[in-house]
Each structure stands twice: as C-alpha cells, then as structure tokens.
C-alpha cells in the first residue's frame, strides 16, 4: 500500500476518481445506556442482568445503544463544484 504525508501525518492513500485520497481509519465504541436513568453499562450482558434482576424496574425497552466513532484529525482542502 502506498503512503503519503497529509498535514505532517502519514496516511495510506487510495486512488478515487484518478486522485490520491487518504484512507482514514477510526475506532468505534458501543455505549450501552438505560434510557430513563442514563446509567452506563459495561456491556449489553450487564444491561440484560439488570433487566432480569427482580429488585430493579429496568425493562428491555429501556435499552439504548450509542456508537462513538473517533477518527484521526485531518484538514483537507479541496475544490467544490
């Protein structure tokens, strides 16, 4: 794979429409929350345990999942049509 410097950082490049563009990778993180209380769980398994726990009023409908995506910072200046 070919690499190129963009703003002082080294990125792999790919040809798109005849032009070299940086391939930017990212990281995704699942965030499991309780809709009503905003409690954050370590995993969906922990949320499921809370649903099964008779001492809590948590229901499966209280499940909320967010995805946080982090990518490398890159300023790209281009032309618009």
Strand order in the sheet with 40-41: 40-41, 26-34, 63-71
How far is CA 77 from each of CA 7, 8, 53, 80, rounded to the nearest angstrom?
Answer: 11, 14, 53, 10
Residue 24 pLDDT class (50, 70, 90 cuts): confident
Please state, rounded to an integer, the average pLDDT across all residues of the chain.
Answer: 88
Task: With residue 63 as reference, give the H or E element that holds it.
Answer: strand 63-71
Higher pLDDT, 12 or 55: 55
pTM: 0.59
């Amino acid at each position: 794979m070919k690499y190129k410097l963009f703003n002082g950082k080294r990125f792999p490049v790919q040809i798109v429409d005849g032009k070299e563009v940086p391939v930017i990778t990212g990281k995704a993180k699942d965030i499991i929350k309780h809709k009503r209380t905003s409690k954050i769980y370590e995993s969906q398994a922990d949320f499921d345990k809370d649903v099964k726990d008779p001492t809590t009023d948590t229901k499966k409908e209280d499940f909320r999942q967010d995805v946080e995506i982090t990518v490398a910072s890159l300023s790209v200046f281009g032309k618009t049509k």
